[in-house]
Structure formats: C-alpha cells, structure tokens
Amino acid sequence: MRNDKKKTVIVGLFVLVGIIIFVAGIMTLGGQQKKFVKSIQLTAVFDDVAGLQTGNNVWFSGVKIGTVKRVNFYGDSQVEIIMNVEQKVQEYIRKDSRATIGSDGLIGNKIIVIYGGTTQAPAVENGDRLIAEMPLDTDKMMETLQENNKNLVTITENLMVLTSKIAQGEGIVGAVMTDSIVADNFRNILTNLERASLNSNRMLTELNKFSQSLNQEGSLVYDLTHDKEMFKNLQGSVEGLQATAENAKILTDNLNEVTKNLSDPNNTMGMILTDEEFAARLKNTLIYADSSTMNLNRGLEALEYTWPFRRGFKRMNKAKENQ
C-alpha cells in the first residue's frame, strides 16, 4: 500500500513538472510570437517575399515588435503580408513609414523591417497598409559578385603580364627601372626641370619686385595712373596726334588726286609728263631755242666789231675800266 502511494506521488510529481514545463513552453512561445499582448494588424504588398513565412518576426528600429500573421497572394502576382504589431508601439509608427524584407543575420530567417516615417504624419491605425520597398535580390548580388570576381581575375592576370614585362625591361617604365642609362637620363631631366622651376620662381620674384617698383610714387607708371594733370596733357597730345593723322590723311588724299591728274593726258602737265610726241616736240623746240641763242650771241659779238657800233663799245669798255 505504502509503495503504491509512493509511486502515485512520484507519478503525480512528474505529471506536475511536465505540465509546468508545457505551460512554460507555451508561455515562452506565446511571448515570442506575441500571442498574449494587445496588437494591431498592418499590411504590406510585395512583388516577391523571398521566402518570408508565417511566424517570422517584425522589427522596428532594431526592436522586435510583432510577427507575420499571414501571407496571402494579392492581385495578379503580388503577395500581401499581414502583420501583428504590438499596440504599445503604434504611436511610434507613422503612416508614411516603409516596410521591407530583411534577414536575421547573414543567412538567417527572413524578417519584416519597418523604418522611416516623419513626425508630420499621424500614427498608424489598425488595418493600415505600409509602403513596401523591395529588398536587394541576393541572387543578383551573387551574380554581380561572380562577375566582379571574373573581372578581378582578368585584372590580376593583366597586372602579372605587365609586371613581368616591366621586370624584363620592356616599355618605358621597364627601361627606366632596369636600364641605368635611361635612369640617368630621366634623373637629368628631373634635375633640369627642377632648375627650370627654380629659375621660374626667381623670374616671378623679379617680376613681382618690378611691378612693385612701377607702383612706387615718382615712377612714370605711377604718374600716368595717378596724376590727373598728366593724364589731361597726354589726352591732349593724343587728340593732337589724331588731328595730325587726319590732316596727313587729307594731304595724302590731295597728293593722290594731284598724282592722278598728273597722269591724265587731257591736261597740260599730264600731256607734258605722259605724251611722248609732245615731249619730242618740246625737246626739238628747246634744241632750236638753244641753237638760236648761240647764233644770237655770235651776232652780238660780231656787232661789236662793225663800224657803226665800234665807237660805242669802246666807250663802254673805258667806262667799265674807270669804275
């Protein structure tokens, strides 16, 4: 009898412990699934849920606030997600907040992440639909990474070829790195460039000093830029030069006109300068005039010895000698 009671007590204790563990498990799972807290329902429509399932968690600002209640097909090819969200965080989620699908860790379960929202928008209400944003497609990311890896391999191979050519002295870089003569020439070029840079700096310094000296009081440039009286005189000189240039232009035009008239055979000077026949006549006339003058001189000399005029010429000669 005593053994039966003892067995009954032991069985009862085991059953009680099992019930306690069972209730604790239900409470724990219910707490994780937010089954025993007041909640509201929010929805979001995605083109692809990427493996999201009922019971997955909903996060807001890094805090777990609910779970996915149901996953339904919506429209032609979209998926509607219905979420249970704790009522106590309702005031922090705004109507313009957004929902996206993330991962719990690198390769963990899919989760809903609620983010964004502005204080100007009111808080969400039960049954509101959040704006859904599609997450990055990991498959596409992997494809991109594979493509990048291929490109990286190609770049690495090209670098190996390039470095091997440089090591063998091929190309300009290889020649500079392996050929001592080319290296010396390159070093000389750098030295010349350094000297040229120093000379340029020295020249700029001298030019700076020269410009400062030009701006000193008493210099011509300073007087030209600051002396108003000199400016007026210079302006007057320029105006005079301009007037002289205009007069010279008028004179040039007149000379051109005179030259044009001189070359015109219809006037006297033009005929004298351009008519060959008239020039020949004039030349003959001058020759005849010269000949006539010579004959006249001879006749006057002979007239001195003729009888009627001999006495008069003697008197004239005596008068000249007495003077």
Instruction: Of 65-69, 133-137, 260-264, 314-318, give the range with the top mean pLDDT.
Output: 65-69
Dist. CA 249–CA 255, nearest whole Å: 10
For residues 200 and 84, which has the higher predicted lDDT (pLDDT)? 84
Dist. CA 115–CA 128, nearest whole Å: 15
pLDDT classification of 84: cutoffs 50, 70, 90? very high
SS3 of residue 261 by DSSP: helix
Angle at 169 between CA 164 and CA 172, to 5 degrees: 105
How far CA 102 is from CA of 48, 58, 246, in Å, comes to 12, 10, 89
Average pLDDT estimate for 106-120 = 84
Residue 38 has a pLDDT of 86
Q: Is the pTM of this model over 0.85?
A: no
What are the residue boundaries of the structural domains of the chain, listed by start? 37-135, 275-309
- Per-residue pLDDT of 281-296, as tens digits, reads 777 777 777 777 777 6
For residues 190 and 225, which has the higher predicted lDDT (pLDDT)? 190
pLDDT classification of 113: cutoffs 50, 70, 90? very high
Q: Is the pLDDT score of 176 beyond 70?
A: no
Residue 170 has a pLDDT of 64
Q: Is the pLDDT score of 45 beyond 90?
A: yes
Nearest in space to 89 (alpha carbons), one of 111, 59, 134, 129: 59
Average pLDDT estimate for 272-276 = 65
Mean pLDDT of the chain: 76
Residue with token string 């493996």:
51
The answer to whether 56 and 99 have CB atoms below 8 angstroms apart is no
How far CA 25 is from CA of 7, 84, 222, in Å, comes to 27, 21, 99
